[in-house]
């Protein structure tokens, strides 16, 4: 994100070790701490800065506040041939989702497809982390979640009853890289608004609206308004439907029950997710499918372009470019984040980063 | 749609009989003709005018042109516990989708969820027709399709390689009506552009763009530009992903293989759809789920509103209002449509409508 002169770079391995150390101080078992750290670093490596390391102080604060169970018994509560419902026992979302996704992949090998719902989970990082896992097994992954803070009202309303409920879908290709869509149902994610505020920049019209229905472009006034959905009432409909599928269906929080995990350090969120694994081989030979996806990707990339457009991008291109950069050059650590992590290390009495 | 003074109203029963008569003249077996007619009328009853009766002359033309198989052997080609792949044998889409949806519901009763992919189908009317069927069995229905004409380029491109690929999801409630989302991934469906052109109206900015990237607001120039996706690159991503899930995965047309069924009367479209049935009872007691959905609906409807907004709407409100009106007052028949149907009746030598 911020590649200014004061931003240093840190290696993924050093970052992972630091995150694991931090979680161990709050009584998370070492192997779990390492799993969470590995997934959080993956978020930063793919450029999802708002969902990786950045969240560490908040995660630790909420664990200390008693909002998260550090020794959860994650288990399958209900199961049929094509589905399972996982109770995360209020564990860290990364652990719960890793468990649920593994179950979805395993079941899809038998049933052709598996839909695994999750309740009593927590924030689990970027949606594409989990959608991408089935793709490594020649499967399509589809992930939905209820966001952990309501910033979106019903279309025409001003009570914030919905979150930016995201969808991620990863589709394996052959010689081309996988197609990986990962998007919020709002025009901008709330994290982007916070970044604008930190930098003292204004937001474009269309990101937010105030309670009188007027465009809100000053990010320091974000709490006086709300996010806008993509495509107006269509994005409202998608946020609602994804919330029903990831939250209500699973017995997880949705609507007024959603806890703002930015503002609250003590209340369990009962976060809901759904992960679907679709085994391509059940529909057609995987090699044929890979060829078809490759051909489609090449057609799209080879399109004639609008004046001023230098390349046609596919969903997932941005995170792949970030991954290549980060694995070579390290993960950018902007000064504000570095300072907050130094403070965290001092508080937890652990070896600081770097 | 057009409720002007010259628009007459026709009863659903009379309309259904007329449509069935028309299909029988082109060698569709009477029971199939009746099934298609019943689903087409359902489209008009719920206000999906662009996907019901309006399509009849085109359907007949394509059947006469040899593009559609009037005596298809619709069958399950592949099957696992959680999925099936249906080969529609190039039959009318309504028949193929009725078959596929029934299979999805039946399988979901066993497996908790079923994902049924469809290839070698045809245009099947509005997406919500099929998403709504599982909802009648206490299930959530999710439908995706590849549209039957490409009007959308890759984001930044001008080659129209994608369609308005729609999604529909129906979620059963309790005392409240079901939530039924049915939306194209473009800001406007192409049918809306045609309606604007017929009426000599201009389009709002944001519906279409020309090949120089400038807003296109004159609908009579629609063939000089293309539709815009909702949320910019996000809607492009959704159209691409829904097309992969409904087309490529099923071995159906996607991308450059999509046939423009408005312009072509002789080529089979190999239309792809996917229908998913999720049995709520596999996740939690259905009665509890219905109560949760009711509570959410009431919270949304009861929201404080923006200045000037008289009510908060839920997805499906519009089609339900249309249904109530049409069942009481009949289906509106604008003069242009009445004339085209009179002409069709004369050509087919059948008893005219009404």
Q: What is the mean pLDDT of chain B?
A: 96
With a cut of 90, say whether residue B279 has pLDDT above it.
yes
- The answer to whether residue A344 sits within a structural domain is yes
Strand pairing report for A139-145 and A113-121: unpaired
B32: CB partners within 8 A, 6+ apart? B23, B92, B95
Whole-number pLDDT of residue B192: 85
Q: B78 forms bridges with which residues in the sheet? A: B85
Q: B170 forms bridges with which residues in the sheet? A: B141, B180
Range of lowest pLDDT (B136-140, B191-195, B249-253): B191-195
Q: Span B25-29, mean pLDDT? A: 98
Q: Span B82-90, mean pLDDT? A: 98
Summarised one tens digit per residue, pLDDT across range A58-88 is 999 999 999 999 999 999 999 999 999 999 9
Surface of A (176-195) touching B: CB under 8 A: 179, 181, 183, 187
Q: Span B18-37, mean pLDDT? A: 98
CB of B299 within 8 Å of a chain A CB? The answer is yes
- The answer to whether residue B258 sits within a structural domain is yes
Whole-number pLDDT of residue B209: 96
Decide which of A228, A257, A291 is a domain's last residue.
A228
- The answer to whether residue B313 sits within a structural domain is no
Whole-number pLDDT of residue B191: 79
Question: Which segments of A127-266 does DSSP mark as H helices, in order?
Answer: 127-135, 190-199, 233-246
Residues A194 and A261 in one domain: no
**Structure ipTM over 0.90, yes or no:** yes
Q: Out of A85, A282, A307, whose CB is closest to B80? A: A282
A119: CB partners within 8 A, 6+ apart? A85, A86, A87, A88, A250, A251, A252, A270, A272
Residues B153 and B274 in one domain: yes
Q: Span B253-259, mean pLDDT? A: 98
Whole-number pLDDT of residue A195: 81
Residues A220 and A273 in one domain: no
Q: A60 is in which domain, residue-wise?
A: 1-64+329-354
Three-class DSSP category at A171: strand
Q: Out of A107, A237, A315, whose CB is closest to B237? A: A315
Give the integer Cα–Cα distance in Å for B319 and B48. 8
With a cut of 50, say whether residue B1 has pLDDT above it.
no
- The answer to whether residue B208 sits within a structural domain is yes
CB of A247 within 8 Å of a chain B CB? The answer is no
Whole-number pLDDT of residue B354: 75
* Backbone φ and ψ of A86, nearest 5°: -100, 130
Give the integer Cα–Cα distance in Å for A306 and A181. 22
Q: Span B181-206, mean pLDDT? A: 90
Residues B98 and B34 in one domain: no
With a cut of 50, say whether residue B304 has pLDDT above it.
yes
Summarised one tens digit per residue, pLDDT across range A140-156 is 999 999 999 999 999 99
Give the integer Cα–Cα distance in Å for B295 and B301. 10
Q: How many CB pairs under 8 A join A and B?
A: 256
CB of B293 within 8 Å of a chain A CB? The answer is yes
Whole-number pLDDT of residue B45: 98
Give the integer Cα–Cα distance in Å for A158 and A260. 17
Residues A78 and A103 in one domain: yes
Residues B266 and B354 in one domain: no
Residues B6 and B28 in one domain: yes
- The answer to whether residue A316 sits within a structural domain is no
Whole-number pLDDT of residue A232: 94
CATH number at residue A45: 1.10.1530.10
- Please name the residue of chain A whose CA is at the shortest distance from the CA of residue B230: A231
* Backbone φ and ψ of B294, nearest 5°: -55, -45
Whole-number pLDDT of residue A100: 98
CATH number at residue A157: 3.30.1370.60
Counted domains in chain A: 3
Residues B82 and B209 in one domain: no
Q: What angle do CA B205, B206, B208 make, to 5 degrees?
A: 95
CATH number at residue A204: 3.30.60.50
Best mutation target, B81, B186, B207, B213, to test chain A (most A CBs within 10 A):
B81
Which structure tokens are listed for B171?
């979620």
Q: B277 forms bridges with which residues in the sheet? A: B114, B141
Range of lowest pLDDT (A11-20, B1-10, B30-39, B143-152): B1-10
Residues A121 and A52 in one domain: no
Give the integer Cα–Cα distance in Å for B223 and B246. 26
What one-character-per-residue DSSP string does B122-189 give?
Answer: ---S-HHHHHHHHHTTTEEEEEEE--SS--EEPTTB-SEEE----EEEEE--SSSPPEEEEE-SBSS-
Task: Please report which confidence band the pLDDT of residue B194 belongs to, taking 50, 70 and 90 as the band edges.
Answer: confident
HSE-CB for A15 with a 13 A CA cutoff: 27
Residues B353 and B207 in one domain: no
- The answer to whether residue B310 sits within a structural domain is no
Give the integer Cα–Cα distance in Å for B202 and A209. 27
Residues B263 and B162 in one domain: yes
Whole-number pLDDT of residue B221: 94
Taken as a whole, chain B contains a residue count of 354
> How far is the CA of A209 from the CAs of A152, A156, A193, A294, in angstroms?
10, 11, 12, 40
Give the integer Cα–Cα distance in Å for B209 and B232. 12
CB-CB under 8 Å, A112 with B245: no
- Torsion angle of alpha carbons A263, A265, A268, A271, nearest 10°? 50
With a cut of 60, say whether residue B122 has pLDDT above it.
yes
Whole-number pLDDT of residue B204: 95
- Please name the residue of chain A whose CA is at the shortest distance from the CA of residue B211: A306
- The answer to whether residue A251 sits within a structural domain is yes
Whole-number pLDDT of residue B4: 64
Range of lowest pLDDT (A22-26, A168-172, B51-55, B237-241): B51-55
> How far is the CA of A208 from the CAs of A151, A287, B235, in angstroms?
10, 44, 19
Q: Span B302-319, mean pLDDT? A: 97
Surface of B (132-151) touching A: CB under 8 A: 140
Which structure tokens are listed for A99?
């468990």
CB of A286 within 8 Å of a chain B CB? The answer is no
Three-class DSSP category at B109: helix
- The answer to whether residue B309 sits within a structural domain is no
Identify whether the C-beta of residue B142 lies closer than 8 Å to the C-beta of residue B276: yes
B200: CB partners within 8 A, 6+ apart? none
Residue numbers in chain A where pLDDT is lower than 70: 1-4
HSE-CB for A291 with a 13 A CA cutoff: 6
Give the integer Cα–Cα distance in Å for B153 and B162. 6
Residues B171 and B24 in one domain: no
Name residue, tokens 């694994």.
Answer: A277
Identify whether the C-beta of residue B257 lies closer than 8 Å to the C-beta of residue B163: no
């Amino acid at each position: 994100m911020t590649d200014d002169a004061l931003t240093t770079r840190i290696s993924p391995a050093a970052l992972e070790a630091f995150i694991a150390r931090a979680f161990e101080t709050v009584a998370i078992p070492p192997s779990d701490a390492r799993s969470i750290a590995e997934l959080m670093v993956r978020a930063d490596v793919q450029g999802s800065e708002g969902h990786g390391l950045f969240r560490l102080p908040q995660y630790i604060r909420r664990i200390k506040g008693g909002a998260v169970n550090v020794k959860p018994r994650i288990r399958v509560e209900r199961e049929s041939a094509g589905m399972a419902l996982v109770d995360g026992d209020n564990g860290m979302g990364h652990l719960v989702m890793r468990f649920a996704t593994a179950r979805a992949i395993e079941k899809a090998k038998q049933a052709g497809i598996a839909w695994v719902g999750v309740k009593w989970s927590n924030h689990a990082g970027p949606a594409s982390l989990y959608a991408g896992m089935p793709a490594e097994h020649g499967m399509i992954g589809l992930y939905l979640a209820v966001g952990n803070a309501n910033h979106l009202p019903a279309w025409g309303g001003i009570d914030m009853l919905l979150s930016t409920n995201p969808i991620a879908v990863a589709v394996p290709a052959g010689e081309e890289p996988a197609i990986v869509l990962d998007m919020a149902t709002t025009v901008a994610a709330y994290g982007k608004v916070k970044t604008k505020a930190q930098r003292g920049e204004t937001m474009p019209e269309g990101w937010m609206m105030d309670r009188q229905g007027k465009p809100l472009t000053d990010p320091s006034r974000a709490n006086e308004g709300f996010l806008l959905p993509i495509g107006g009432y269509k994005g409202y409909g998608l946020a609602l439907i994804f919330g029903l599928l990831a939250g209500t269906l699973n017995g997880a929080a949705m609507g007024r029950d959603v806890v703002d995990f930015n503002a609250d350090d003590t209340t369990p969120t009962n976060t809901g997710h759904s992960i679907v694994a679709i085994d391509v081989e059940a529909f057609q030979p995987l090699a044929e499918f890979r060829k078809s996806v490759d051909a489609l990707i090449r057609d799209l990339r080879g399109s004639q372009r609008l004046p001023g457009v230098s390349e046609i991008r596919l969903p997932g291109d941005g995170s792949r470019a970030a991954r290549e950069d980060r694995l070579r050059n390290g993960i950018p650590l902007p000064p504000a984040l570095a300072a907050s992590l130094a403070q965290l290390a001092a508080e937890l009495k652990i070896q600081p980063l770097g």
